A and B are shown apart, each in its own frame.
Chain A
């Protein structure tokens, strides 16, 4: 079965300019800033302040901002980077993200960073953290161990200790010492950014023809090297513009895409799914932005590090790299599908991504039990051959449209 031809993304009537064109162009500029020129500019404007990179999925960015550091989310090199040296550091059976990250670093594209954090997500990122120490012994880098034991007295305390350690290490390298008031303010800015992201998600769920996933992806990703307040402003500008668009509603299939929480698919792949008739109404792309489900609680007199630690325990989302204790595997995905009013799920995992691929059969079983159709594909960040994916997604959307299942 071939894909049903679908119109291009949220097209404005031919003659009318898209009010979102400006914010989208800005987002694209930021996303394509491979050599981190915006980070250099930020550092020039903030002499002595540190820019700290971090790998997926989750790092508490407000902690860095509170110390006047610029957090910079690293997602690998995507399909824009030719791998020349990176491949000689990784065997063929390891995912693509670490090789393009090493490529960027060896090419000097990450030189604007004063340090990099490697959060506990999988063995590859963990070992990449060790490689970093060997490759760049003079630069700051640190592993951030995230707790799998979610008891506040156990994992919570350990995680707060980890955050305090990172804080000490950054101060030793010139970051501003942590002050409670600064942390509370940074948390408030982060919450405001997240409000804007959640508003974007909500609009996307309601009117995906107004906010296609490929655009939402771009404006979210644009925040990688922005302070939370600047990112919020961009999100808000895009949202306001999107609301002013003249749009047509299309009869696409509503899907959730899951599995791409770390290595990111090329933007063209997301567009391909849309062109194949899928409205992506929820996803786990760049999961770090939405890792906490809800605002970080704040309260007068609260110890900010304890607040961040507790938010991680209580609000962390179900994903492959997080142990969910006695909860039922897949139940969270079923809830997401229901909440988004989705009709099906597309599993999109990076090739050789152990966490995503080991999780997938359990999630599939839960979807099967809930009667939710699904299909699955694998990608790498530089996947160029999209025709097969388009046909597969088209067949899936046709099947769901016609029979309400992937059969």
Chain B
């Protein structure tokens, strides 16, 4: 599930929109800021070599970008390349390229999309070439595929790799042993490897400053998530939410830019709340809120806006989601902490959503359904991702049993368009929403 959405394109902008559809709505200031943030970032990456900057590839969930930032290292996050390729309709070609090179149809499409992109010249989302890594930082959180992914990349780049093995949280508890294991790896292996690439020592004060800024952004992000408790919700916590996590899940956590982005986003959301407005959708202001849903599972990136519209046009708002917690779960109280730098980085890595055992995932979803007063919940089960998908049918039953709220189940994929059956998905969504409607009628009667 890796992932974070990111920059461009913003709602209403992806190529999934049919030409005859309404023009993209005017963007909020935070959207423009995010777009500029990522444009600048890719520009910086494009010129990293000339500028003498060092580049570290790492993954979204459990990344330690504060450390990279404190050492002036530039992160590249391959999952973001993959999802960006999908939003730009390039993933099919990249996946085909990887399968031609011997990669199985059965495995995670993020990996294949990234490898195919690499084989096609490693051109990033803004059309510029991504720099090769000076180091692969394999932070191994919530999914075994990450390990294979970097083994594959190592064969392409022949650069050093440093691993951060993050233990799994099967029982929803971070034990002292787990934390110590991660902290010791950070202290004795990850930081020295980063310092070697950076050619300088880690400045502890700079790390603390960054962790303090992470915390500020996290506070604001949680306020944004929690705004969805109101009726109508001023945000869509899944489709819209993937934009909100862009900066904080990727290269920017710990930066001034991220602080400014989340401050601005929060104030916009609070203004919408005061005005009683719903979320912004691909078609502009949302239809009146009719259904409040919680979502489990990653989105489909190849038909992102089409998928969103299947709900937004029916007045279905996603009030909360687990996918938007894959790169950090802040609304259960965790914050990066300048007073405990490495310990809080360890807790962050350990606490990402798919690093939690299934019982904890069910408990979190149950809590979201109750706290956000959801009428239903939806599971988008993606073929690519065993980390998310294995067990989701039991999650469905368990949640229905515990909450009495009906669940819907859809199957698609992250970036492989072959597995997005539009008509089938649309039928399922329609039937599900009709069922919610009928249920509502029955309980009103």
Contact = CB atoms under 8 A, between A and B. Distances in A.
Most A Cβ at <10 Å: residue of B108, B358, B392: B358
Given A93-B383, A158-B177, A362-B155, A129 B144 contact: no
Nearest to A351: B106
Contacts of B104: 349, 357-358, 360, 378
Nearest to B166: A148
Contact of B181 (A157, A352, A361): A157
A88 B145 contact: no
Contacts of A126: 144, 168, 170
A321 B361 CA distance: 24
Interface in B121-145: 138, 140, 143-145
Given A134-B358, A355-B144, A361-B102, A145 B386 contact: no
Nearest to B398: A134
Contacts of A325: 161, 163
Given A130-B359, A154-B185, A358 B145 contact: yes
A155 B189 CA distance: 12
Most A Cβ at <10 Å: residue of B145, B359, B386: B386
B362 interface: yes
A130 B387 CA distance: 12
A145 B383 contact: no
Interface in A358-372: 358-362, 364-365
Nearest to A141: B170
B177 A161 contact: yes
B88 interface: no
Contacts of A142: 170
A321 B393 contact: no
Contacts of A128: 390-391
Interface stretch (B146-154, B196-204, B234-242): B146-154
A94 interface: yes
Contact of A158 (B167, B188, B386): B167
A359 B163 contact: no
Contact of A361 (B101, B147, B167, B357): B101
Interface residues of B, number: 51
A221 B312 CA distance: 55
Most A Cβ at <10 Å: residue of B145, B148, B398: B148
Given A133-B357, A362-B151, A158 B102 contact: no
A145 B167 contact: yes
Given A122-B144, A143-B357, A94 B102 contact: no
B107 interface: yes
Interface in A306-359: 320-321, 323-326, 329, 349, 351-355, 357-359
A250 interface: no
Interface in A109-145: 120-124, 126-131, 133-135, 142-143, 145
Given A91-B411, A142-B170, A123 B151 contact: no
Nearest to B108: A354
Contact of B102 (A121, A131, A134, A360): A360
Nearest to A359: B148
A329 B161 CA distance: 14
Interface of B: 101-104, 106-108, 111, 138, 140, 143-145, 147-149, 151-152, 155, 161, 163, 165, 167-168, 170, 175, 177-178, 180-181, 184-185, 188-189, 357-359, 361-362, 381, 383, 386-387, 389-394, 398, 411
Interface of A: 88-91, 93-94, 98, 120-124, 126-131, 133-135, 142-143, 145, 147-149, 151, 153-155, 157-158, 161-162, 165, 320-321, 323-326, 329, 349, 351-355, 357-362, 364-365, 378
6 contacts: A130-B359, A154-B189, A157-B180, A323-B151, A357-B106, A361-B152
